[in-house]
Structure 1
């Protein structure tokens, strides 16, 4: 390994052979160590990308391709389809600009998850338990289980609507989907599962003929990418904008992608390839979102500016959209939209279900890998089957109960979003976990802006959901106050971090024989050539893995961080209480 010698300021670049990953690292499940066996190729555990030809690197990229693409396409699940369809039907393409906001949010958040998964080799839930204690671990995982189960209910609702369009009753559609979803994961082969998912993702190609059938106008689509507020900024429009942005970073996505990267055995040397995988997934999800919005904007839009068919009526649900497209544009358009809805629901249910059972395995310390057969990891597959069974049974509840579930899922996801993103950033700044892969200053600034924006949007969503009478002026004032608080908080964190670095330099100075702290800081800035720096960084990163978690000292909370965590705990307690009260009142009429 490359390191600083205690008596000097030059790095020793001697390479020391690393012991087997599972022997000294945090990896829990032995199935998570070995060759990368992907849908489109295999990479041996000992392979490296260095010195390869362009064709060889392309084949390696195809072998790595998967986790980023699947989690992004899964983002356009039944709820995502409904949200984009609502935006298009009610406002045409006027809200297409919100999709541009999703690109940096998606990349920054999921890229942090990529590093955590590849370097740590354990799931998100396991890291939270190990680094923040049982309370926060139980709180995050407990809520994840509940919200994910309810989210799968909404996916089954999407399946029922889609197959109902073709005349299949719910009593057949839901059990059939549950059996198919279980069969997808129960084969004991990661490659077979990933190939099945790739087949479902390929069905998304029907979005192109659907978009062609509605005859979109390029000028209208392009104008939609310029920020505007059709009809003025009111609480209804704001809620829809918040919903569009809020569908992009659901807590289950963080848990799923990190665990799926681990299950695919992606290590730090392949992080650059996994980032490309993530970018491919973002491109696919953006094209899909625009196509869905355009389908309802031009096919069902109620305003002349959309170029659509007037008189379609306001949005009700995704199933009604399929029937409306059938009535206005013909059977082909309705069928294509129903196929998209079915496909999205199956991919979403599969990904959310796996996110939950991955987290369950992390929490209980049980085997949790698609490489195991049912007999080898019974708890993993039993948990997945139970989740599908419970969610499928709930789908047969009365319609008004299903409507409350849909509303509750949206609100609970908004409540959990701040805690999930805060933990994500804290973990990506934990040097004991990520070593040379920790966030850079630039990554922290960008992540901080995005995370705080998501927190404000989450607060606005929760407020608008449970207090619909709140005025637009109040919400705007809340955003303004939040921006000020964020700027002050960011400045305070920067000052505290600078002081912490200074104290660390002072401690190192004492260890090195009384050197001045400024001299210690200069040890890290000795001029090196660009090639030397690149070689040192690559060697450190490619070989560095998180040590066994029980050997690491937990991070000490500063006063500022402790105050922030207490405030977060208070927000979660109040918001969850509001959710429960709202549901109880709604059930009681």
Structure 2
């Protein structure tokens, strides 16, 4: 572990000693400890509503009204399950997500995973600078000034060598999200229309354009960079297993904020542009701000532009840090906000270089940048199954997580999520290849895919039970006189459920991953290896097809 990752928890809203516990603490003291923990979950979720998120939600509202609100509801369990797994990995292992992938799966798979991250993150930061330029252009500031100014500000936010100062700065930006309430109120939303949007529907039919937008909503709401950022940020904040319960609360706070923000942005575009020529004709977030200004007045347009600027700065900071955290994990260099520039030059140089390149690319032609914003979100959605597969494998690695490994229920939920994302990606691929595919055909495809998922899951569950049985048989042979059924009885008795839970909780609070270089690397079975290569090959094809779809849009 990096030495900066060990010590007292020093957060924006308080501190906790390295050896402090909850024993003997009053409710007020526990609440103050919770405030000290809050940060990684809230920041990663609010950072999720970045420039691309604002543009994607605004596009959904402007082109389809509130008809796609249901997609956000379905993404809540995806958000929590994915991010809760990295909470455990960060607190227990004490190292970043990229480091774990390289150490447990080797350089080959590590390069695939981190390579995806670097490419998508670099493009994502470009979209953040696009958001900055659009927002400040609304107030009359040209791109030649706004983009370099934002890049300097973003670097200054992290370069002080103080984790607490950085987190307080982010909390200040997050507080600005309060403007989403007056923004949504001033466009005079109709509650009945919003409520109807929670019922799943496909306005205009399930075609490639709508599917691309749905995949974009998935990609901007549950992005791969979030996994890398939150795990590394938990490590950087020095959160240990005894504080995982508080970090889960932090995560739920962030999920509530991000969902309210997404609905508010959809509502602003839906009701603020209803009945205008702009309705159904989304181009970019800057045009939405101007259209709101023209139709609803200066205040509404300015609030939307400020929200876009705030989202862009938070997103660029979080995505940039996710990338440089992963770079430090990959190269084995210091990577912590506790270090000053002179103490971790590679960390800060990588962050600065990433900002500089993204800022330069943001000066590309406007029509290309507008489509790039949606394309990046779609790419994130397409690549998410791969990132989630590695996450699930790590959370089933007993050598890494010990008593914190996934339960059977957690694996079932994670499996459903991964397969659902794969089916969504497959449907997008099918509509790009065959643009005339009907909604009925896609519905049949989803039904068939769901059936395959159920049968495959049942097969995996049977295989797991057989493996558990074989393990019991091996244990029985070691004891000599016991049969496998007696071994299983010993595992379940004589302790009561409460007693077993108390022992497990005590073990969890103090259990940490041993030094990674002392652990034997898990071996992939032949079916798992074939499945991984098949998934990677398909995702490569899907990425190419997303690029084709964007190129078609650019070419009209």
Q: Normalising TM by the smaller chain, what interval?
A: over 0.9
Aligned partner of 1:381 in structure 2 is 348
2:272 paired with 1:299? yes
Match of 2:118 in 1: 145
2:178 counterpart (190, 194, 205)? 205
Q: Which SS does the other structure have where 2:221 is aligned? A: coil
Task: Give the structure 1 partner of residue 287 of structure 2.
Answer: 320
Name the structure 2 match of 1:110.
83
Moved more, 487-496 or 364-373: 487-496
Partners of 1:481 and 1:155 lie apart in 2 by 39
User: Which position in structure 2 is the counterpart of 1:431?
Assistant: 398
Question: How does the TM-score come out when normalised to structure 1?
Answer: 0.90
Gapped runs of 5+ residues in structure 2? none
Determine the C-alpha separation between the residues in 2 that align with 1:584 and 1:299.
30
Partner of 1:422: 389
Residues 441-486 of structure 1: per-residue CA shift (max 9 Å, x gap): 1111111111211221233344546764544344333322321221
2:489 corresponds in structure 1 to: 522
Which residue, out of 146, 152, 166, partners 1:179? 152
1:236 deviates by 3.2
Contact kept, 8 Å, 2:180 with 2:261, in 1: the verdict is yes
Shift of 1:498: 1.1
Distance of aligned partners of 1:468 and 1:381 in 2 relative to their CA distance in 1, 3 Å threshold: farther
Task: Show the counterpart of 2:9.
Answer: 36
Of 527, 545, 555, the residue aligned with 1:560 is 527
Calculate the aligned-residue CA RMSD, in Å. Answer: 2.1
Q: Which residue of 2 aligns with 1:337?
A: 304
- CA distance in structure 1 between the partners assigned to 2:270 and 2:549 by the alignment: 33
Q: Where do 1:123-142 residues align within 5 Å?
A: 123-142=96-115
Hey, what does 1:24 align to over in structure 2? none
Matched, 1:440 2:413: no
Which segment is superposed worse, 45-54 or 146-155? 45-54
Aligned-pair CA distance for 1:570 = 2.0
Residue in 1 aligned with 2:69? 96
Quickly say closer, same or farther: Cα 1:123–1:168, change in 2 above 3 A: same
Tell me the secondary structure at the aligned position of residue 352 of structure 1.
Answer: helix
Question: Does residue 478 of structure 1 match 2:441?
Answer: no
Residue aligning to 2:360: 393
Q: Structure 1: which 5+ runs fail to align?
A: 1-27, 303-308
Q: CA deviation at 1:50?
A: 2.8
Alignment of 1:175-254 (within 5 A): 175-254=148-227
Pair 1:517–1:550, CA change in 2 (3 A): same
Q: CA deviation at 1:493?
A: 1.0
Count of equivalent residues: 556
How far apart, CA to CA, are the structure 2 residues paired with 1:322 and 1:401?
19
**Residues in 2 aligned to 1:59 and 1:492: alpha-carbon distance in whole angstroms:** 47
Structure 1 residues 110 and 546: alpha-carbon distance in aligned structure 2, compared to 1, 3 A threshold:
same
Offset at 1:225?
A: 1.8
Instruction: State the 1:588 CA deviation.
Output: 9.6
Contact 2:207–2:431 under 8 Å retained in 1? no
Q: Is the 8 A contact 2:177 2:307 kept in 1?
A: yes
After superposing on structure 2, the runs of 4+ consecutive aligned residues of structure 1 that deviate more than 6 Å are 580-589
Tell me: CA distance 1:89–1:577, structure 2 relative to 1, closer, same or farther (3 Å). closer
Separation in structure 1 between the aligned mates of residue 350 and residue 23 of structure 2, nearest angstrom? 41
Query: Could you say what secondary structure the match of 1:37 adopts?
Result: strand
Name the SS of the counterpart of 1:42 in structure 2.
strand
Match of 1:371, SS? coil
Deviation at 1:234? 3.8
CA gap of 1:311–1:196, structure 2 versus 1, over 3 A, is closer
Counterparts of 2:424 and 2:218, CA distance in 1: 8
What is the SS of the residue equivalent to 1:226? coil
